[in-house]
Amino acid sequence: MTASPEHISAQLLAWYGKHARQLPWRVQPGQPAPDPYSVWLSEVMLQQTTVAAVKPYFAKFIERWPDVYALAAAPEEDVMAAWAGLGYYSRARNLVKCASEVAAMGGFPETEDELRKLPGLGAYTAAAIAAIAFGQRAVVVDANVERVISRLFTISEPLPGSRKIIRVRADQITPEKQSGDFAQAVMDLGSSICTSRDAKCLLCPVAEACQARQGGDPLTYPVKAPKKDKPIRRGTAYWIESDGHIWLETRQGTGMLGGMRGLPDDGWSAAEDGKMPPPISVNWAEAGVIRHTFTHAHLELSVRVYRGATAIQSEFGQWWPLDRLDDAGLPTLFAKAVRLVLAQK
């Protein structure tokens, strides 16, 4: 069955009116638009991260920094610490930069083009804020939308090469009004009905228009190019303990885990193994190896331990009380190292 773009969008909006997810950063269909700060914060957090993981972080940020001006005034190290565990830490660095710019401007710009100029706002995030917070017509395409559109129109070119035609097709069915509700409708459809592992076509409001369903194998779409194997990198982290304190360093603002507190290490990165010498010359004890996966590489990190009074010269570090390590805001990798060492004490 061939359905008009207007019919598809109307069916999706009607379905969304009854089945919209209850999320802390959303308003329900028909209600006044949400605060752009909440939309922006949630969309940045949701990049490559699940809704379940984001909810507690969003609540914590909103409670501590209830508007963009409060966030702009916050010390960057506090924001980075609050972000710890959410991953993809460049998002947190851009969050601080963006908040400062928006506060200086007196508020968020309302158009997609102006939003794109802010730090950390790509095509998707800018379109989402423009559509959801400001009622602008914008074409919002995330992974859920890619899946739904690929199935609706049986787009056979593999991702990521198919993203251009996916956007064209999404544009064709995005209505002039309620494009924010429409975008969230397609996202919700992709997260609950037209999922990556299942296609509940009997529950889908646009099943009759779906070309993949007509072809009998909706799970074929979206077509994905074969994944490349990630390299395995190896490095060493150093646990230096003295008088109930541990030495932590703030990593440089760019690169892996930039701006975060962590154990000193040998300079490993996604591009190469660690090669730098230890920060002090002592007899190290081997605590074991932890493993962690980043976007571009797997990491095997050996953890070496030294306990005893020692002098360390570094402007980027500080002695941190062992009984307050939970307040250090360590990223997941170094939290694993902490658990490894403390389990052996």
Decide if 76 is catalytic. Answer: no
Bridge pairing between strands 245-250 and 261-262: antiparallel
Total number of residues shown for the chain: 345
- 3-class SS string, the chain: CCCCHHHHHHHHHHHHHHHCCCCCCCCCCCCCCCCHHHHHHHHHHHCCCCHHHHHHHHHHHHHHCCCHHHHHHCCHHHHHHHHCCCCCCHHHHHHHHHHHHHHHHCCCCCCHHHHCCCCCCCHHHHHHHHHHHHCCCCCCCCHHHHHHHHHHCCCCCCECCCHHHHHHHHHHHCCCCCHHHHHHHHHHHHHHCECCCCECHHHCCCHHHCHHHHHCCHHHCCCECCCCCCCEEEEEEEEEEECCEEEEEECCCCCCCCCCEECCECCCCCCCCCCCCCCCCCCCEEEEEEEEECCCCEEEEEEEEEECCCCCCCCCEEEEEHHHHHHCCCCHHHHHHHHHHHCCC
Selecting among 43, 112, 146, 249, the annotated active-site residue is 43
Q: Using only C-alpha atoms, what is the Rg of the chain? A: 23
Known catalytic residues are: 43
